Homo-oligomer: A and B are copies of this chain.
Amino acid sequence: MQNRPTIALAMLPMLNAELMTDAHWSRLEALCRVPDREALTTFAEPRAFDLLAQAEILLTGWGCPMIDTHVLDQAPQLRAVVHAAGTVKQHMDPVCWQRGIAVTAAAAANAVPVAEYTLAAILFANKRVLRLQQRYREAREFRWWPMEFPRLGNYRKVVGIVGASHVGRKVIELLRPFDLSVVLYDPFVDATAAAALGVRKLELDDLMREADVVSLHAPALAETRHLIDRRRLALMRDGATLINTARGWIVDHAALEEELRSGRIDAILDTTEPEILPAESPLYELPNVFLTPHIAGSMGVETQRMADLALDEIERFVKGKEFRYAIRAEDLARIA
């Protein structure tokens, strides 16, 4: 390609190493001029000033510093920001859209591992696999386990999806091969759109009552603060499971802790509030809680799926096409 646009990278260096294999670098350098492979971690240093002055595209990732008016003023050639991760809100000031910068992100690619984690969690939750593992370790003898866990199993159970986000939709898609019925709460999805997704639309309270597993996929917005509160947790069926791979923000954690201490419901939590729980939190020890350290999103080799999507988007841009996953100013209010 003759007029390869110039690109600069900005993200955590450890991520940069994981994200880009040799094949990714070859592809990037065939598409763009890459004056420096080392990702920027700050825009306030001489190397950054030099790269920003030339960059037509910024390839960003986790840990990218804020792109605000000041940064944009130093980047007069900048026409596009391609984010090789999920959310752009933490590093992109709304002024980027006012300046006409084209923006895209790998939220769709990042949704895949979250949906995969969620699918595995749903299948294990209905079957009470995580509980049975603990009980077996305690008992170390034969038991007729269904007696201890009534309605155990994945057959004609109801899965409640809260939020038809990228992840929520991917979970719905992945659930199709199973004998489970899926209900959805999402105020932006009407009954026709829900039917097209193959799910039944419910109000949130009804979903909390009906579902054997409630899985949260709503964004952290002012309106979703403690969406799952004490009253709604109390609506859940005995023996149901709450799965949170979205954000701790959505759930009233004092109420959740109380409900979990009672042992009435189970929880599989990849996200909590705070993000890393204090060492004395009972959630680490409760037998009905399965806790992971916010790892459902892209990790390890999964970051390469985001790099693949980012490179696809860069290729579209270089060829003068629109981004497939363009993020517009008006999207910001409803996305994560």
* A binding-site residues for B, Cβ under 8 Å: 14, 18, 112-113, 116-117, 119-121, 123-124, 127, 129, 132-133, 136-137, 140-147, 149-157, 173-174, 177-179, 275-279, 284-285, 290-293, 295, 298-305
- Are A127 and B117 interface neighbours, CB within 8 A? yes
Q: In the complex, what residue of chain B is closest to A176 when comparing beta carbons? A: B177
B141 touches A276 (CB 8 A): yes
CA–CA, A120 and B122, complex, Å? 9
**Which of B132, B140, B147, B278 meets A292, CB within 8 Å?**
B132
Interface centre among A151, A154, A178 (most CB of B within 10 A): A154
Closest 10 CB pairs of A and B: A152-B300, A153-B302, A153-B300, A120-B120, A153-B301, A120-B123, A136-B293, A140-B279, A146-B300, A155-B301
The 5 sampled A-B contact pairs (Cβ below 8 Å) are A113-B155, A116-B178, A119-B123, A129-B295, A143-B293
Closest Cβ–Cβ distance, residue A145 to chain B (whole Å): 6
- In the complex the two chains form, is B140's CB within 8 Å of A127's CB? no
* A152, closest chain B residue (CB): B300
CB contacts (< 8 Å) of A293 on chain B: these are 132, 136, 142-143, 145
Query: Contact: A127 with B295, CB < 8 Å?
Result: yes
Bound-complex Cα distance A284 to B291 (A): 20
**A156 & B301 in contact (Cβ 8 Å cutoff):** yes
A142 to B278, CA, bound (A): 11
**Could you say which residues of chain B place their CB within 8 Å of the CB of A302?**
152-155
A133 touches B300 (CB 8 A): no
A285 to B150, CA, bound (A): 27
- Residues of B contacting A147 in the complex (Cβ-Cβ under 8 angstroms): 14
Residues of B within 8 A of A299 (CB): 127, 145-146, 152-153
Most buried by B among A133, A277, A303: A133
Closest Cβ of chain B to A72, distance in Å, is 31
Q: Say yes or no: B300 contacts A136, CB within 8 Å.
A: no
Of A120, A149, A177, A278, chain B has the most CB atoms within 10 Å of the CB of: A120
Minimum CB distance partner of A118 in chain B: B123
Residue of B nearest to A302 (CB): B153
Question: Is A292 a contact partner of B179 (Cβ separation < 8 A)?
Answer: no
Residues in B whose Cβ lies below 8 Å from that of A292 = 129, 132-133, 136
What is the distance, in angstroms, from A290's C-beta to the closest C-beta of chain B? 6
A301 to chain B, nearest CB (A): 4
> Looking across the interface, which residue of chain B has its beta carbon closest to that of A270?
B129
